Amino acid sequence: MKKILIANRGEIALRIMRSCRKMGIKSVAIYSEADVNAPFVKYADEAVCVGPPPSNESYLLGDKILEICKELNVDGVHPGYGFLSENADFTRKATNAGITFIGPSPESMEVMGDKLSAKSAVKSYGIPMVPGLDKAITDIEKAKNEADIIGYPILIKASAGGGGKGMRVVENREEFEEQMNLAISEAVKSFGNGAVFIERYVGSPRHIEIQVLADSFGNTVSLFERECSIQRRHQKVIEEAPSAVLTPELRKAMGDSACQVAKACNYVGAGTVEFLYENGEFFFLEMNTRLQVEHPVTEMITGLDLVEEQIKIARGEKLSFSQEDLKIDGHSIEVRVYAEDPKNNFLPDIGTLEVYKRPTGEGVRVDDGFEEGMEIPIYYDPMIAKLIVHAPTREEAIRKMTKAIEDYDIVGIETTLDFCKYTINHEAFKSGNFDTHFVKHFFANPEILDEASDETKKIAGIMANYFLTEQDTKADYTPSSEVMAWEVNRV
């Protein structure tokens, strides 16, 4: 493999290109008109403008991207995450065109892309799953009876869902039908698929995911876990590896289950198996058939370059290590630096990076896609950077991250940095005694949505419009329900 096109933008495009350069592989960037001066465009060996700023006129044009691959004699295409990364049709077309897709097969994507088909694929492997139905609801009365057996509260979930959309907590039998209709309506609007199912509501879960690598020779390994429980709007904002809550026995059990999930769909490549954890129990949630935003913390504790491993697997190589070879080295924390205002319900805050100075030092890593003086475009995810630290212990990692946040100088927009500093120094985080409701329980917003300025609402609405209509529905950023409402009413 001599030339790879990166079908993505920003920090992930730049990060993939660095691995390509290290491996002696030339990189091709595609970019929209909004990204013409972006660092990833300048870093690539070749770059081609693929269209105007809106993603459905640029980064989501699969056929045009494949035409560029052919014109430039590209050997492989790396999708990053979001956009086309879990688009089975694009993967199939690339493969049929003789271009190596650096990721799993379209069949694996299709199995794991739907929660019900994923449940069906893994249930024969004895993998723990949240008690509930494994079929879409077609008979309301029957579903109510099943809910009675499961026990309230229960959760209604969209089969094709993600990011909290098409998800409703039902407290009792009387509100079941109303909540189901709301979930179906939201699922249809968000995913074009109204299939929903029910399962037990896990009230105080931790979100723990396992990174897996699988080659085409039947070898599958777990690269241990990532703790992803600090979230806002069902979206991750702080991740760490390893988790502070897992014992060695639980770690092995979850790792083994994750490898079984990968085998259940004949998975090849890098993937992430997500679990809910509560009171010593874990339950299979879903599999993300791509690289994750938070993959750097796994790289820090294993010493592996996951993009390099992806490329090696894609070109037909065996894994060069076994499960027994892998060990956890120290502790790593990642915070996502978003152009958002945590004091105002994490609403996007778009503007110019008037000052942009990165922290440096041993064990400090910044994956970003911006430079000082650049504007944060309204068309895409508002993540500016990922700040990652590595240290011998969790306590040292917290101290190092605190210092790195203090040294990160960003002027011109509001960011999530202060929120991240507050969180990692909160006693609940330090003690490891937290769950996915951290923001609700410990972070009070001094401002309310009704006080947001008309300009803020307008910007948020425009962004929501792009995310809802043009971004991959499984991208790692989803606007809040309030932002969606503003978009609907902004005219």
Q: Which residues are catalytic?
A: 290
Distance, CA of 470 to chain centre: 17
- Indicate the residue type of 115: K
Q: Which residue intervals of 34-86 are DSSP H helices?
A: 39-43, 62-71
In the structure encoding, which two tokens stand for residue 103, read together? 């990721």
Specify the DSSP class assigned to residue 343. G
Angle between helices 62-71 and 88-96 (to 10 degrees): 30
Within 10 angstroms of residue 149's Cβ, the number of other Cβ atoms is: 8
Q: Where are the beta strands (DSSP E) in 234-380?
A: 235-241, 269-278, 281-288, 331-338, 340-341, 347-348, 355-357, 364-368
- The residues, ordered by sequence, that sit 6+ positions from 106 with a Cβ below 8 Å of its Cβ are 88, 89, 91, 92, 95
Residue whose structure tokens are 């209709």? 181
- For residues 299 and 223, the answer to whether their CB atoms sit within 8 Å is no
Diameter of the chain measured on Cα atoms? 63
Q: Which residue intervals of 266-371 are DSSP H helices?
A: 295-302, 306-314
Rounded CA-CA distance 53/60 in Å is 11
Rounded CA-CA distance 139/105 in Å is 34
In the structure encoding, which two tokens stand for residue 118, read together? 């994923």
For 173-225, give the DSSP string: GGGHHHHHHHHHHHHHHHHS---EEEEE--SS-EEEEEEEEE-TTS-EEEEEE
* 451: exposed, middle or buried (Cβ count in 10 Å: 0-12, 13-18, 19+): exposed
Q: Strand order in 26-32's β-sheet?
A: 46-51, 26-32, 3-6, 76-78, 100-101
Query: What phi-psi label fits residue 123: left (phi over 0), alpha (psi between -120 and 50 degrees) or beta?
Result: alpha
Q: What is the dihedral of CA 28, 468, 120, 145, to 10 degrees?
A: 170
Question: Helix (H) and strand (E) counts for the chain?
Answer: 17, 20
Secondary structure element (H or E) that encloses residue 122, with its range: helix 115-122
Rounded CA-CA distance 293/290 in Å is 10
